[in-house]
A and B are shown apart, each in its own frame.
Chain A
Amino acid sequence: QVQLVQSGAEVKKPGASVKVSCKASGYTFTDHYMHWVRQAPGQGLEWMGWINPNSGGTNYAQKFQGWVTMTRDTSINTVYLELSRLKSDDTALYYCARRYCDNTSCYGLAYWGQGTLVTVSS
């Protein structure tokens, strides 16, 4: 079965960087893009972008371009989300997620990690 297991909670100071990991299992890692979604406390879901684990290609939502980097390590089936120049309003739960795909196409985000809480505080 598909499993996405994320790294543990982080506490960072404003201006710092953080790198969150998401280890995938139960499927062929390079066959499916991985998405990142964040959720600030008490707020809604915000799509951040995706990475193609096969090529390393990425697509970021406009808001996150220039300060978010998604990478992958195919040897350990893991994707990474790195956030730089952190601000207090980047405090959020960060999820990795994978789409459901059948033989025809891919659809919504059916598989989710447990989330990684990143707290930015001085």
Chain B
Amino acid sequence: EVVMTQSPATLSVSPGERATLSCRASHSVSSYLAWYQQKPGLAPRLLIYGASTRATGVPARFSGSGSGTEFTLTISSLQSEDFAVYYCQQYNNWPPGFTFGPGTKVDLK
């Protein structure tokens, strides 16, 4: 089973600043990596898939990079609506599994 880790657990950022979130896989997942945003009381929202492709409607300030075991989500200029918890997830087809990382909470500095 692939284990996903994320760092930091909490990231305190001021509006307008850049936020960089990290995700690591215990084994290579190639580019089968997605990022989600979750706000309180809501279902997660798909932001990035294929490690770097923005999902429909996702603002350009969100970007993803990486492959293999190391991945990054960057929010170039944080907006007030971006304060949320962010999860990475691998969806490698074999061994089949879609494990999530523990999440990074982005909060107001």
- Judging by beta carbons under 8 Å apart, are A100 and B49 in contact? yes
Number of interface residues of A (CB under 8 A): 22
> Which of A35, A46, A50, A109 lies in contact with B34, CB distance below 8 A?
A109
> Which of A46, A62, A108 lies in contact with B46, CB distance below 8 A?
A108
Number of interface residues of B (CB under 8 A): 26
CB-defined interface of A11-37 with B at 8 Å, one 1/0 digit per residue?
Answer: 000000000000000000000000101
- Judging by beta carbons under 8 Å apart, are A47 and B43 in contact? no
Kindly list chain B residues whose C-beta atoms are within 8 Å of the C-beta of A47: 89, 97-100
> Which of B56, B85, B98 lies in contact with A35, CB distance below 8 A?
B98
- Judging by beta carbons under 8 Å apart, are A45 and B1 in contact? no
Kindly list chain B residues whose C-beta atoms are within 8 Å of the C-beta of A44: 85, 87, 100-103
- In the complex, whether A53 has a CB less than 8 A from a CB of chain B is no
Q: Could you tell me which residues of chain A, from 73 to 122, have a CB within 8 Å of some CB in chain B?
A: 95, 97, 99-100, 107-110, 112-115
Q: Could you tell me which residues of chain B, from 9 to 46, have a CB within 8 Å of some CB in chain A?
A: 34-36, 38, 43-44, 46
CA distance A35 to B97 in the complex (A): 11
Instruction: Name A residues whose Cβ lies closer than 8 Å to a Cβ of B.
Output: 35, 37, 44-47, 50, 59, 61-62, 95, 97, 99-100, 107-110, 112-115
